[in-house]
């Protein structure tokens, strides 16, 4: 009978080959991550946050989409519940990421799971799941995850802190926002692998455009909610159809 703790320790053993493989897989995305972080850093300073507040936000939140969604609400003195609700809904995808990663790393102590949950990002999670689509234990899996997540977190923080301290000195003509958008598209497109995901993306995009004029940027909140609900509805419909005709 295999000793489970020993087996788990073997899976966590440092694997430099897997670490390099993870770093190599994530390397093409690091410039986009850094550029996106710089855009958010500049936006935080231009929205009126102090250097200390902006640094604290980027280190604690580590979620560019929710930060950008919250900034205009903060500048507009929106109610606190609207700011928190918007940021929460925008970041709900991390709950899904956690559910997808949990079976791979349930054997880790909770402080380590908390740490790696904090430094996980859209790209690192997507690339990890592409490499390890099933939950079967595999040597090097933990090192591969580290090779993805740690450089991703560092690239974001370096870019974001640079944007904070450069502030308005970064000209808009650099087009850093477009680089960040391209980086996000690189993650989103491979994940649209079925009708449910495609439906969610289309509904969210359409609602975001149609509801752009709502106060307090509530159109973004509505788009995320309706996009998620539509994707779930399509997935549930497909599941029922397959069960009846399987």
Instruction: Give the mean model confidence (pLDDT) for residues 126-148.
Output: 87
Residue 11 contacts residue 132 (beta carbons within 8 Å): no
Domain boundary among 146, 164, 191: 191
Report the 10 Å Cβ neighbour count for 149.
Answer: 24
Residue 86 within a domain:
no
pLDDT digit string (tens) for 41-97? Answer: 888 887 778 888 889 999 988 888 788 778 877 877 778 888 888 788 778 778 878
pLDDT tens per residue across span 187-226: 567 667 678 888 888 998 899 899 888 876 677 778 878 8
If asked whether residues 30 and 107 sit together in one domain, one would say yes
- How does residue 240 score in pLDDT terms, banded at 50, 70 and 90? confident
**Model pTM?**
0.68
If asked whether residues 21 and 32 sit together in one domain, one would say yes
Residues 131 and 61 in one domain: yes
- Non-local CB neighbours of 103 within 8 Å, separated by 6+ positions: 135
How many structural domains are present in the chain? 2
Q: Examine the domain organization and report whether 241 and 168 are in the same domain.
A: no
Residue pair 40/61 in contact (Cβ under 8 Å)? The answer is: no
Q: How far apart are CA 133 and CA 100, in angstroms?
A: 9
């Amino acid at each position: 009978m295999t000793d489970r703790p020993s087996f788990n320790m073997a899976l966590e053993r440092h694997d430099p080959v897997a670490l390099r493989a993870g770093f190599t897989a994530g390397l093409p995305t690091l410039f986009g991550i850094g550029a996106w972080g710089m855009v958010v850093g500049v936006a935080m300073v231009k929205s009126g946050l102090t250097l200390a507040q902006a640094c604290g936000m980027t280190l604690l939140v580590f979620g560019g989409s929710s930060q950008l969604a919250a900034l205009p609400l903060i500048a507009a003195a929106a109610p606190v519940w609207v700011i928190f609700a918007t940021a929460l809904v925008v970041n709900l995808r991390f709950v899904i990421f956690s559910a997808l990663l949990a079976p791979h790393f349930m054997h880790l102590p909770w402080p380590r799971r908390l740490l790696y949950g904090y430094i996980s990002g859209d790209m690192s999670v997507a690339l990890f799941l592409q490499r390890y689509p099933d939950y079967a234990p595999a040597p090097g899996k933990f090192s591969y995850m580290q090779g993805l997540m740690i450089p991703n977190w560092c690239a974001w923080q370096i870019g974001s802190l640079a944007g904070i301290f450069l502030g308005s000195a970064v000209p808009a003509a650099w087009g850093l926002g477009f680089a960040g958008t391209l980086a996000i598209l690189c993650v989103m497109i491979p994940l649209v692998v079925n009708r449910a995901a495609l439906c969610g993306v289309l509904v969210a995009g359409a609602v975001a455009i149609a509801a752009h004029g709502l106060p307090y940027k509530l159109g973004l909140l509505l788009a995320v909610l309706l996009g998620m609900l539509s994707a779930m509805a399509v997935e549930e419909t497909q599941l029922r159809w397959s069960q009846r005709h399987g």
